[in-house]
Amino acid sequence: MKIVAISGSIVGSKTRTAMDYTVQSITKQYPDHEVTLIDLADYDLQFSDGRNYLEYEGDTGYVTKTIMEADAILIGTPIFQASIPATLKNIFDLLPVNALRDKVVGMLATAGSPKHFLILENQLKPILGYMKAQIVQSYVFIEEEDFERKEIINHDVLFRIDRLVQDTVVLTETYQRMREEEAKYDF
Amino acid sequence: MEQHRIDPNNGLEFGLYTLGDHLPEPHTGERISAEQRIHEIIELAQLAEQAGIDFFSVGESHQDFFTTQAHSVVLAAIAQATEKIKISSSSTIISTLDPVRAYEDFATLDLISKGRAEMVAGRASRIGNFELLGYSLRDYEELFEEKFDLLLQINENEVVNWEGQFRAPLRNARVLPRPKNGSIPIWRAVGGNPSSARKAGAAGVPMYLAHLGGPATVFKRSIDTYRDALEKSGYDPNEFPVSTAGFFYTAETTQQAQREIYPHVNEGMKRTNGQGFPKQHFAQGADPRDVMNIGSPQEVIEKILYQHELFGHQRYIAQMDFGGVTFDKLKRNIETIATEVLPAIRKYTKKN
SS (HEC) of A22-54: HHHHHHHHCCCCEEEEEEHHHCCCCCCCCCCHH
When pLDDT is cut at 50, 70 and 90, the band that residue B295 belongs to is: very high
Give me the long-range contacts of B296-301 (CB less than 8 A, separation at least 24): B296/B250, B296/B251, B296/B252, B296/B253, B296/B254, B296/B256, B296/B257, B297/B250, B297/B336, B297/B340, B297/B341, B298/B340, B299/B254, B300/B248, B300/B250, B300/B341, B301/B340, B301/B341, B301/B344, B301/B345
**pLDDT, mean of residues B168-195:** 95
When pLDDT is cut at 50, 70 and 90, the band that residue B234 belongs to is: very high
**pLDDT, mean of residues B186-198:** 91
Kindly determine whether residue B137 and residue A51, on different chains, have CB atoms separated by under 8 Å: yes
The predicted structure's pLDDT at residue A63? 98
Closest Cα of chain B to A27: distance in Å?
A: 28
Q: Class of the A2-185 domain?
A: alpha beta
The residue among B6, B26, B3, B13 whose CA lies nearest residue B260 is B26
Rounded to the nearest 10 degrees, the angle between the axes of helix B99-112 and helix B71-81 is 10
Kindly determine whether residue B255 and residue A49, on different chains, have CB atoms separated by under 8 Å: no
CB-CB: which of A50, A51, A182 is closest to B280?
A182
Kindly determine whether residue A52 and residue B258, on different chains, have CB atoms separated by under 8 Å: no
When pLDDT is cut at 50, 70 and 90, the band that residue B290 belongs to is: very high
A51 neighbourhood in chain B, CB within 8 Å:
127, 137
> Do the Cβ atoms of B2 and B330 come closer than 8 Å?
no
Q: Would the pLDDT of B352 be above 70?
A: no
Among chain A residues, CA nearest to B127: A51
A185 touches chain B (CB under 8 A): yes
When pLDDT is cut at 50, 70 and 90, the band that residue B13 belongs to is: very high
Interface of B with A in 4-23 (CB under 8 A): none
Interface of A with B in 63-102 (CB under 8 A): 68, 96, 98-99, 101-102
The predicted structure's pLDDT at residue B127? 82
**pLDDT, mean of residues B251-280:** 95
Strand residues in B76-116 grouped as ranges (E): 86-89, 92-93
Closest Cα of chain A to B136: distance in Å?
A: 11
Closest Cα of chain A to B114: distance in Å?
A: 40
The arrangement of secondary structure in B2-349, i.e. its CATH architecture, is Alpha-Beta Barrel (3.20)
CA distance B352 to B346: 11
CA distance A118 to A105: 17
The residue among B100, B136, B143 whose CA lies nearest residue B122 is B143
The residue among A102, A182, A173 whose CA lies nearest residue B279 is A182
B190 has which bridge partners? B209
Q: Would you give the distance in Å from CA B111 to the centre of its chain?
A: 21
CA distance B53 to A77: 57
Name residue A176's amino acid. Answer: Q
In chain A, where the domains are located: 2-185
Closest Cα of chain A to B127: distance in Å?
A: 7
Between chain A and chain B, the number of residue pairs with CB atoms below 8 A apart is 43
**pLDDT, mean of residues B56-81:** 97
Kindly determine whether residue A52 and residue B255, on different chains, have CB atoms separated by under 8 Å: no
Q: Would the pLDDT of B302 be above 90?
A: yes
In chain B, where the domains are located: 2-349
When pLDDT is cut at 50, 70 and 90, the band that residue B34 belongs to is: very high
| Percent of chain B whose predicted confidence (pLDDT) is above 70 | 100
What residues of chain A score a pLDDT lower than 70? none
In this structure, are strands B55-58 and B86-89 parallel, antiparallel, or unpaired?
Answer: parallel
Q: Would the pLDDT of B125 be above 90?
A: no
Contacts of residue B30, defined as CB under 8 A and 6 or more positions apart, other chains included, come to B24
**pLDDT, mean of residues B186-194:** 91
Q: Phi and psi at residue B236, in whole multiples of 5°?
A: -95, 110
B26 neighbourhood in chain A, CB within 8 Å:
none
Kindly determine whether residue B258 and residue A185, on different chains, have CB atoms separated by under 8 Å: yes
CB-CB: which of A52, A99, A186 is closest to B255?
A186
The predicted structure's pLDDT at residue B126? 83
Q: Would the pLDDT of B50 be above 90?
A: yes
Q: What is the pLDDT of residues B205-228, one digit of tens each?
A: 999 999 988 999 999 999 999 999
B279 touches chain A (CB under 8 A): yes
> Do the Cβ atoms of A107 and A134 come closer than 8 Å?
no
CA distance B111 to B40: 24
**Which region holds residue B23: left if phi is over 0, alpha if psi is between -120 and 50, else beta?**
beta
The residue among A111, A107, A91 whose CA lies nearest residue A14 is A111
